[in-house]
Amino acid sequence: MSLSFCSFSSGSSGNCYLVQSDRSALLVDAGISGKKIFEGLAETDTDPEKLRGIVITHEHSDHIKGLRVTAKRCPDVSVYSNQGTWKKLEGLVEEDRQKVFDSGSIFDIGDISVKSFRISHDAAEPVGFSFYCEDKQISIVTDTGFVSDEIIDEISGADILSLEANHEPHVLESGRYPYFLKRRIMGDKGHLSNEAAAECIIRLEQQKHKDRKILLSHLSGNNNTPELAKLTVTNMLEDAGLAVGGSLKLGVFSRSGLSPVFEV
């Protein structure tokens, strides 16, 4: 049985991912327009009737701005979030379609098992997710200021990992953002830099080496580029003795375009 992963958008202006097994499909966040979400489903040949759920990482607008429209167009689809986030989503989804999970818990959506885990971000109760189908695992770690040991433990078995590489510190520091925003982004409840993403991958490989695809995600449009993110991370991995391109494959998600469909 296969498990696949696709990004409809991954960046500070909008985030939405598709996770799909042979029998079920779900969306992770709905931070782009409903129109773009349904275009993404069409382009990946995903029947909207195959959707079994929408899971929400946190309440910031770049993760939920298309939620109301998407939920309305898919009246049989449940929306999953923890209690802290639901308190910030009041009025977006009918109460009888709201599914509440405890952070750290495991629940099933169709034949896909979903595990949430805590991340560090300036939101009510932000989480990342891992998705399991038989012995396959896809994990998403974005919108976090640092990567805890608990996160490393959770994602160590991931076959595909969507990992934040939001900014290049020297670009951010010399850029036009006001000081308070720079401090927020670089803080423990902000976003991972390219260097922090590389350090996470090194820790991950030290804990469990396996064939895996890592997709750098949630890039800033002002403080990073796909080329810079990949170069910085690749150089740091190679300096640590990790070869990119063999068992460890590295890619970068587009900030606004549809990605290829990755399958395990």
Quote the pTM value: 0.97
Q: Are 161 and 215 in contact (CB under 8 A)?
A: yes
Q: What is the pLDDT of residue 137?
A: 98
Q: What is the pLDDT of residue 81?
A: 98
Q: What is the pLDDT of residue 263?
A: 95
For residues 137-150, average pLDDT: 98
Q: What is the pLDDT of residue 253?
A: 97
Q: Are 244 and 237 in contact (CB under 8 A)?
A: yes
For residues 46-55, average pLDDT: 96
| Six token digits for residue 23 | 């029998």
Q: What is the pLDDT of residue 2?
A: 87
Q: Are 132 and 111 in contact (CB under 8 A)?
A: no
Give the confidence band of 241 by pLDDT, cuts at 50, 70, 90. Answer: very high
What are 176-223's pLDDT values in tens digits?
A: 999 999 999 999 999 999 999 999 999 999 999 999 999 999 999 999
| 10 pLDDT higher than 90 | yes
The CA radius of gyration of the chain, in Å to the nearest whole number, is: 17
For residues 111-130, average pLDDT: 98
Average pLDDT over the chain reads 97
Percentage of the chain surpassing pLDDT 70?
100
Number of domains in the chain: 1
52 closest CA partner among 76, 85, 86, 30? 76
Give the confidence band of 237 by pLDDT, cuts at 50, 70, 90. Answer: very high
**Dist CA 255 CA 11 (whole Å):** 5
**Cβ contacts of 154 within 8 Å, gap of 6 or more:** 115, 117, 128, 130, 139
For the chain, the farthest-separated pair of C-alpha atoms sits apart, in whole angstroms, at 52
| 1 pLDDT higher than 80 | no
Q: Are 2 and 264 in contact (CB under 8 A)?
A: yes
**Dist CA 217 CA 188 (whole Å):** 18
Give the confidence band of 124 by pLDDT, cuts at 50, 70, 90. Answer: very high
| Six token digits for residue 129 | 């997710």
For residues 119-146, average pLDDT: 97
CATH number of the domain bearing residue 48: 3.60.15.10
Q: Containing domain of residue 33, as a range?
A: 3-263
